[in-house]
Amino acid sequence: MTNMVISSRSLAGKLMGDDAAHGLLRAVLLVIVGTAFLTLSAKIRVPFWPVEMTLQTFAIMALAAAYGWRLGTVTVVAYLAEGALGLPIFTGTPEKGIGLAYMFGPTGGYLLGFIAATAIVGWFAEQGWARSVLKMGAVMLLADAVLFALGLLWLGTLLGWDKPIFEWGLYPFMLGEFVKIALAATTIAAASNLIERRKR
């Protein structure tokens, strides 16, 4: 194992090998790259139907599968910490607020869901599921369901369950979620199989 954070069973671990002397430095660099990737994905807006979408679900799922559950979770927590400190790294920031004020707003549950989704996808990826598009796609759908469940639970608690919570926080995004998950699962499976072939 590269170190206690980067699993040798993750794509990142397989690419880096077992260099314990530089493991911590590499983990820190991967966290920095990962948080930048998540920030970029939150800022990109893609025209879509029925609403435009960002690439954040794709980024969360792909990063989790590539990093594994430990490094992936550390990266997402670091990303959220940057946002809590007031950096405008989330979708809609700084226009819709920054820092804790934004994080405790309507999207707070989804942000928490990022952590849960990362842990789920990362764990299964480390078990070898990353090599299969169908298996990885199924795990990502499960993780996305958990992410949205947390998001909707917070949204309903914050705004009231008498409001059209599902119409606001789920239905408009479902088609885009399927597209992003399909893209993430395909990308990760292709990368995983390529790495496996090169190691033989």
d(CA 80, CA 87): 10
> By C-alpha distance, which of 138, 175, 179, 125 is closest to 8?
125
Angle, vertex CA 33, rays to CA 173 and CA 23, nearest 5: 130
- The CA-atom distances, in angstroms, between 77 and each of 19, 30, 82, 86 are 25, 13, 9, 14
* Both structure tokens of 171: 């239905």
Helix extents (H) in the chain: 11-16, 23-43, 56-84, 99-103, 108-126, 133-159, 165-169, 174-199
The residues of the chain scoring below 50 in pLDDT are 1-2
Backbone angles phi, psi at 19, to 5 degrees: -110, 85
Q: Are 69 and 126 in contact (CB under 8 A)?
A: yes
At the topology level, CATH places domain 11-199 in: Arp2/3 complex 21 kDa subunit ARPC3 (1.10.1760)
Angle, vertex CA 52, rays to CA 46 and CA 56, nearest 5: 65
d(CA 197, CA 77): 33
pLDDT at 1: 40
pLDDT at 172: 95
pLDDT at 6: 80
Residue with structure tokens 């990142």? 12
